[in-house]
Chain A
Amino acid sequence: MKQEDIAINGDSAIALAWKQINPDVVAAYPITPQTIIVEKYSEYVADGHVSTEFVCVESEHSALTLCTTSSSAGARTFTATASQGLAFMWEMLPIAASMRVPLVMAVANRAVSGPIDIHNDHGDVMSARDCGWISLFSENVQEAYDLSIMATRIAEHHSVQLPVLVNLDGFILTHAIERITPLDEKDVRKFVGEFKPLHPLLDVKHPVSHNLMDGPMFYFPHKYQMVVAMHHVPKVAQDVFNDFEKISGRKYKIVEEYKCDDAEYIAIVLGSTFGTMKEAVDQLRKEGKKVGVAMPRMFRPWPIAELAKLMKGKKAVIVMDKHLSIGSYGPMFPEVVAAALENESMPKMYNYIYGLGGADTMVSDFISVFRDVEKGKAKRINYLGVKE
């Protein structure tokens, strides 16, 4: 059934997707700019729109703990956080992943303290990148909504069984009203289906012990088991994307491309910047510049094959990082370079660090990035907007 378009901000769109799925358990702790998600969901609970057990915990550490064991117990479980909240959850991130719980967490991406700054960058999620979670990125509110629905299917797939982060840029998407086309609730329920947990704790007739202590002989193989699960993700995700297209008409790919086919210079970005970058690309194309932009739909697993294919034969690749590993590159840059190793020849590679702590980056800034690279004025690492 075709739904009427609605005006909704990113956080509320996440809450709407959750409401339509009606998970068994939601536990969360409020933090800017994720707050609206929990407030809105609390409203759905109060008005009886969902039958979810909704728990307002006393901290993010407990939020993720509660969600992890709830999922282990056999309940479909969602949560959301940002910044310091994700940092406070950090201890539980790799535990949730190694316990193979298919829970879904929205992250309203925000800079990590200090100094304290509530605005958007990718410092929170990038600092959590090695924890074994699948990490999906959205360009706009529609995608944040769509990915929240698709994430459930990806996480719960029996060949995956890993938790998923759904990232949306703090304020830029969380607090911005955009036009989206929601799905019919019945279609959403049918799409996500029933949660079929593996060896749930609450199957008391078959008592199972979850999360034992490993010695060196078992730890590494258990980690390798997760590696194998991650390898399954691109195929599973693309299948889920394709199924989703059937009910929504919206296409999703492992790596999203914009005018990359004949481009000589391409930028690789994450999140809402993909949209702004498209505008920059269009303006440069009017001048006849062969430029393009791409966004990996997921940072974990890192889509090596798709990116290698994308970079083949390009003159230069510009990696735009909204986070900085201080003392090294932006977190995405070495990953892009490593993916390029799959090809016989390497394009020129540049790293731009931009937008930290919410420093707004305009279309004209992105245009100047392409110009500087074309003119050979770019350094290996460039700090956009900082006077060096």
Chain B
Amino acid sequence: MVNLANYKDFIVGDRVIEAGNSERFHTGDWRGQIPYLDKDKCINCLSCWIYCPDDSIMTENGKIKGLKMTHCKGCGICAKVCPKNAITMKGE
């Protein structure tokens, strides 16, 4: 027998009231390659941040803090748009 969810666990209708809870769903394991950041080369231009489709560039006070691997799908956009080649993609 299939094990379906219990309807009593849902609020009325097909709704979710915990905004942005998909952060708990980690897409990081979809990755084929992984970005590496060379902080020495980084000029904090934030190009990688504005183009990252998965919000995986961590920033603090307008500066790049690091790369968050929980959701990074390894697309490589960050490496491609970096004007200083501070990010490189490598096999995982």
Contact = CB atoms under 8 A, between A and B. Distances in A.
Direct contact of A and B (CB under 8 A): yes
Nearest to A160: B12
Contact of B12 (A199, A207, A211, A218): A199
Interface of A: 98-100, 161, 198-199, 206-212, 214, 216-218, 220-222, 224-225, 228-229
Nearest to A159: B12
Given A221-B4, A221-B7, A222-B7, A100 B17 contact: no
A211 B14 contact: yes
B6 interface: yes
A74 B27 CA distance: 34
Contacts of B15: 199, 208-212
Interface of B: 2-7, 10-17, 19
B17 A199 contact: yes
B16 A212 contact: yes
B21 to A, nearest CB: 9
B14 A221 contact: no
A99 B19 CA distance: 18
Contacts of A220: 4
A204 B69 CA distance: 31
Contacts of A229: 12
Contacts of B11: 198-199
B3 to A, nearest CB: 8
Contacts of B17: 199, 206, 208
Q: Which of B5, B13, B19 has the most CB of A within 10 A?
A: B13
A362 B90 CA distance: 83
B80 to A, nearest CB: 31
Contacts of A100: 12-13
